[in-house]
Structure 1
Amino acid sequence: MLDLLSSSGPEAALVFKTALPIGIGLASAAFLTIKAVTRGTPSIDKSIPTTSLRHGETTHDAEYEENPDLFVLRCEEQYGAVFNCYLRNRLYTVISEPLVREVFMTDDLSVAEAVDELSGLHAQTMSITKSRRDFSDPAFHAMVRDNITPNLPLFTPKIVECILAVIERDLGCPQNRKLIEHPLLMFQDAITSAMAAVFMGDEAAKDRKILHSFIHCTEDLARIINPNARNNRWHALLNKLKYTVTSPLRKHVQVLVDFATPIIQERRRQEAEALEKGIEYKRPLDIMQGILDNFDKYGVLDLEDVCGHLIVLVLGAVHSTSDGSTYLCYYLAAFPECIEPLYQEQIEVLDQICKEREEQRQSKLVCGDGLSVEDFTGTNLDPRNDRDLSSLAVKRMVKMDSFVREYLRFRSERVELAHMAKNDVVFSNGMIIHKGGKVLINLRSVHHNPETQGDDPTEFRPWRFVGKGKAATKVSTDFLPFGMGKHACPGRFLAIQEIKTIGALMVSRYSKIEMQDSSKRMKALLSRIGDPVPTGLYFTGRCTGLNATKSSS
């Protein structure tokens, strides 16, 4: 396990931590200012048409915001699959099907560079890890891939317990409908608690300082990357100059360090005691432990660096998953006819699992593994866990999976997923995106394509993907909420698991979910991540619901 402290002494560390940011800041200030002043608009392929502007307007922002579908449809009809337009005070080349795959498969087109050019995010994320890593570093992908995805069945009990505790606290099971004016706050608490347990252990899920930091670090980041400020070309530059010297997120790293230090010390004591007794030490199941056990593989320096990496992972997980869980409920409210089919599917799945587990117990009894069913108490086949909301149960809920994939498809932004060219890029049709040029994906051409999505792609059809082999976690050219290729979001498996778990708990505990203001239905369904939700939600409890107070792997 990695040492708690770095190798340098406290005096040397203090000088280093003080002098290095100042030196980097001064050097960066000079470099970035020169770069900003000397950088012109990247040359563009003259064969790519530029979308016409409405009279008196200098960008396409207003026309796009009024009706994104109509704007993109106009561009497709007038200019074809590739066109230039002015959005967010920048010139973008919008690329549609069938060239979308080439964007994601080309290493010289980078999402990370595009985000940094808009917001200066690299400097911010690098400032919170001692090893100076930004959010696009492969180490972050490896941490998620190695420690989360393979352990999802084991994490599910923690996730269900944490989410259910918050739902019970805020909602309960009301016989008369109960209003939650800001559902995002409830689901943010639920997801934050679950994430804390997965990232740092069960103790973290109960620690108010940890939960506060997990929530508020994303709010601090939102102020930094502020989408409303992206039209200002100085926004990213000022962020880069400022956050090479200091970072508001450092305080959250320290909270994690203060919490983790005694936890790790106690784990070390228990490990040493087990070694002395000659017994196997049962390693705690959380990402922090996984990183500490493989510090050389991930290249982390000490516990402070581990906590910095955890904060970066939190930044990419908590808010997006909380938002996704919240909007699942808005879609259940908008399409109330889906609640009962989802509820019935859940009953059928749990009935089948219950039957299978009983068959396994009887088979073991026949083989002499026990004298009666009571002998399985406390084991993986404990009858008390037969109807728990397990990872297997959630996986078998194909209608729930289809519902989630469909609402992610339906809600998606029409042009999004910016990429920036690190070098000149030549597409198969001969089109060139020159170095520094920026690309947006026409997601309307992807998510509203009848050839890949089926009939009526502009309509919400909850069971669209049932039996199609297209899970909500499966990225492809016809489903891009999580990107595609080797840079696809590695945390999507955890995110979808949590969203589907919340969906399962909602339909099992509430017979009806309604919007407080039904006139805001479409606006609520299409609100973007980070935009205020225009209406609250009413929840009406079931008289009898599924026993989903526990889960098992």
Structure 2
Amino acid sequence: MYIQTTINKILGLVPTSVKGMHIEAMKTIIPFGIGLIPVAYMTVKIFSNPGFSTDKSIPIVPLRPGDSTHDAEYSEDPDAFLKRCEEEYGPVFNIYLLNLALTVISGPQIREVLTNPAFSASDANEEITRITSYFNCGRKSNRNYGNQVVQYLVRDTAHYLPVFTPKIATLMEKGLEQEIGHCPAEKGAKIVEEPILLIRKTVVNAMANIFLGPEIARDPKVIDTLFSASIDLRRGFITGSSRVSKWRAFLDRTHLRLFQPLMKRAQILAEAATPVVLERRRLEALASESGVVWERPDDVLQSLLDSSDKYGFIDLEDVCAHALILAGAYAFAMTDAATNILYFLAAFPECVGKLYEELQQVLDTIQTEREQTRQGYRAEGKPIDEALDPAHDRDMSVEALKRMVYMDSFLREVFRYRIEHLRIVHRALEDITLSSGIVISKGSTVISNTRSIHQSPEHGEDTAEFRPWRYAEKRKTATKVGPDYLVFGMGRRACPARFMNIQGLKMVGALVVSKYSKIEIQDPSKTKAALCTRIGEPIDTGLKFTSRK
């Protein structure tokens, strides 16, 4: 209405001689011209983003003849490219990658970036991934706090690990049985053409039950919505790890503003959740009137509802948007990592036997300990509570997963071996002088060379090789971050979701080795490619599963 009024005023100032046959055309041209103003502004903005540090002492890696960026050379062999750059140009150098001018930081100086608040990860990540734009197209609150509230929610969710773990195990086991089934050797292995799809279905169903509760998760629309949300997040993060033009990034953000996919998914979820939430409130009020304690549902949705004031949620749609962000993020992260774990188990078949042996030893020990506790209770005349029910002696509990040191070592080594070598971007909010004397200028974007960390002598002499039991005796767990392991970041910026993710991945690994004696790569000639494929890129071969007797 305001724009139309403005157009009418402008037309009122046009001389009469100009009006007439051209007036209708001008009614079209003027709003079109006004619409071009923000487009022009954004175009200038996206193409004027700052580049790498202007410190003259930082060398710029020359481009190969015919190349306009370093993308092709890096993609061909990341190890060789980065090793050459480190040897020829030192620990800090400038390159053109992902359509950005980036300053690469290597070695111990990476710690200075990760621990210095003058480096902003959120500003740099938004330029590459558009994740904040995606969040803001759905959530109604917490837009002014970046993604801090999401991080707080993730930390709070991690507190539910002891409650969630057995449920997730049951749900995932059921999902694997439905998707793969029983495939004994005499009947031939079961071929799964797209393992990532199998894992995504299994994980999404488990996350729907854990985050939203079984009543809401029964609705097929809810499963489809969460499935789509996990793909949205995957697309956002994967876009950030591949070469995407600034114009494409601008179009992506425009698409989010116009179509608001997260908001639409939150509305679907809120519609399905409304009757369940109303019933919960009715039961809570009834319990209060009767003077009894209401047994709260142990799902994340109820926790968010109870904490609405704490987090400033506006309404149920806002709560559902945040629930989708959390559940979608877990599903996305778990799906990619779990799928890759299957390929590593297939590529290194000796690991399957070792991990199965460890699983049985751990469960045997826990079963013996629980029986000893029960005998002690009987001797003292104490009642045996439900928690010590023999039916749960061999459950996939938090304690059982914690004792699987070889499984933990296997996961840590998979991450160390496979993780993208150039990752963890930051934007310098001011001029920053590193300990080496090099100045990272304000506005420049730096990226960490994790190859220099994950293939350092601290990990052994054979860091270019995959050694599954590398950390089994070193007391370095898959969740333990530090200067030598940057898979989940470091310090106060370390990923708070790593505990739940690693717990879930241990569970997937344990369930798979307990059910299948053999996993094979469908096309053995593509084994190396399957292990080295960049995160998010499709693996061009399926897997074959053979059940245990």
Would the TM-score normalized by the shorter structure come out above 0.5?
yes
After superposition, the C-alpha distances for 1:126-176 in whole angstroms (9 at most, x for unaligned) are: 120011527942211111212x22211110121011101111111122113
Kindly indicate whether the alpha-carbon contact (under 8 Å) linking 2:229 and 2:325 is maintained by their aligned counterparts in 1.
Answer: no
**1:232 corresponds to which residue?**
245
**1:51 corresponds to which residue?**
61
1:443 to 2:450 alignment: yes
**1:457 corresponds to which residue?**
463
TM-score (norm 1): 0.88
Q: Does the C-alpha gap of structure 1 residues 336 and 293 become closer, same or farther in structure 2, counting only changes over 3 Å?
A: same
For residues 15-30 of structure 1, what are the structure 2 equivalents within 5 Å? none
The amino acid of 2:78's aligned partner reads P
Aligned residues with identical type, % of pairs: 45
Q: Of residues 172, 193, 206 in structure 2, which corresponds to 1:181?
A: 193
Alpha-carbon shift at residue 262 of structure 1 (Å): 1.0
1:156 to 2:165 alignment: yes
**1:212 corresponds to which residue?**
224
Q: Which of the pair has more CA radius of gyration?
A: 2
Distance (whole Å) between structure 2 residues aligned to residue 517 and residue 119 of structure 1: 33
**2:208 corresponds to which residue?**
196
Q: Of residues 494, 497, 504 in structure 2, which corresponds to 1:498?
A: 504
Distance (whole Å) between structure 2 residues aligned to residue 300 and residue 96 of structure 1: 41
Kindly indicate whether the alpha-carbon contact (under 8 Å) linking 2:141 and 2:313 is maintained by their aligned counterparts in 1.
Answer: yes
Alpha-carbon shift at residue 288 of structure 1 (Å): 1.2
Q: Does the C-alpha gap of structure 1 residues 293 and 80 become closer, same or farther in structure 2, counting only changes over 3 Å?
A: same
1:264 to 2:277 alignment: yes
1:142 to 2:152 alignment: yes
Alpha-carbon shift at residue 507 of structure 1 (Å): 0.8
The amino acid of 1:174's aligned partner reads C
Alpha-carbon shift at residue 34 of structure 1 (Å): 5.1
TM-score (norm 2): 0.89
Please say which of residues 356-365 and 240-249 is displaced more in the overlay.
240-249
1:348 to 2:361 alignment: yes
The 3-state SS of whatever aligns with 1:502 is helix
**1:324 corresponds to which residue?**
337
Alpha-carbon shift at residue 29 of structure 1 (Å): 5.6
**1:22 corresponds to which residue?**
none
After superposition, the C-alpha distances for 1:193-221 in whole angstroms (9 at most, x for unaligned) are: 11112211123443321111111123345
**1:35 corresponds to which residue?**
45
Distance (whole Å) between structure 1 residues aligned to residue 250 and residue 90 of structure 2: 35
The amino acid of 2:137's aligned partner reads S
| Runs of 4+ deviating beyond 4 Å | 25-31, 37-43, 221-225, 227-230
Please say which of residues 454-463 and 52-61 is displaced more in the overlay.
52-61
Kindly indicate whether the alpha-carbon contact (under 8 Å) linking 1:224 and 1:239 is maintained by their aligned counterparts in 2.
Answer: no
Distance (whole Å) between structure 1 residues aligned to residue 336 and residue 523 of structure 2: 19
Q: Does the C-alpha gap of structure 1 residues 246 and 504 become closer, same or farther in structure 2, counting only changes over 3 Å?
A: same
Q: Of residues 269, 276, 300 in structure 1, which corresponds to 2:313?
A: 300
**2:10 corresponds to which residue?**
none
The amino acid of 1:412's aligned partner reads I
1:278 to 2:291 alignment: yes
Q: Show structure 2 runs of 5+ residues with no match.
A: 1-34
Q: Show structure 1 runs of 5+ residues with no match.
A: 1-24, 371-375, 544-553
Q: Of residues 108, 126, 133 in structure 1, which corresponds to 2:118?
A: 108
Bigger helix fraction: 2
Supply the RMSD in Å over aligned alpha carbons.
Answer: 2.1
Q: Of residues 67, 70, 73 in structure 1, which corresponds to 2:83?
A: 73
Kindly indicate whether the alpha-carbon contact (under 8 Å) linking 2:517 and 2:546 is maintained by their aligned counterparts in 1.
Answer: yes
Kindly indicate whether the alpha-carbon contact (under 8 Å) linking 1:125 and 1:135 is maintained by their aligned counterparts in 2.
Answer: no
Alpha-carbon shift at residue 108 of structure 1 (Å): 2.2
Alpha-carbon shift at residue 263 of structure 1 (Å): 1.1
After superposition, the C-alpha distances for 1:475-503 in whole angstroms (9 at most, x for unaligned) are: 11211121122222111111111111010
Alpha-carbon shift at residue 222 of structure 1 (Å): 4.9
Q: Does the C-alpha gap of structure 1 residues 34 and 516 become closer, same or farther in structure 2, counting only changes over 3 Å?
A: closer
After superposition, the C-alpha distances for 1:302-331 in whole angstroms (9 at most, x for unaligned) are: 111111111222342212211111111111
Kindly indicate whether the alpha-carbon contact (under 8 Å) linking 1:229 and 1:235 is maintained by their aligned counterparts in 2.
Answer: no
Q: Of residues 69, 83, 99 in structure 2, which corresponds to 1:89?
A: 99
The amino acid of 2:320's aligned partner reads C
Distance (whole Å) between structure 2 residues aligned to residue 441 and residue 448 of structure 1: 14
**1:250 corresponds to which residue?**
263
Please say which of residues 42-51 and 461-470 is displaced more in the overlay.
42-51
The 3-state SS of whatever aligns with 1:172 is coil
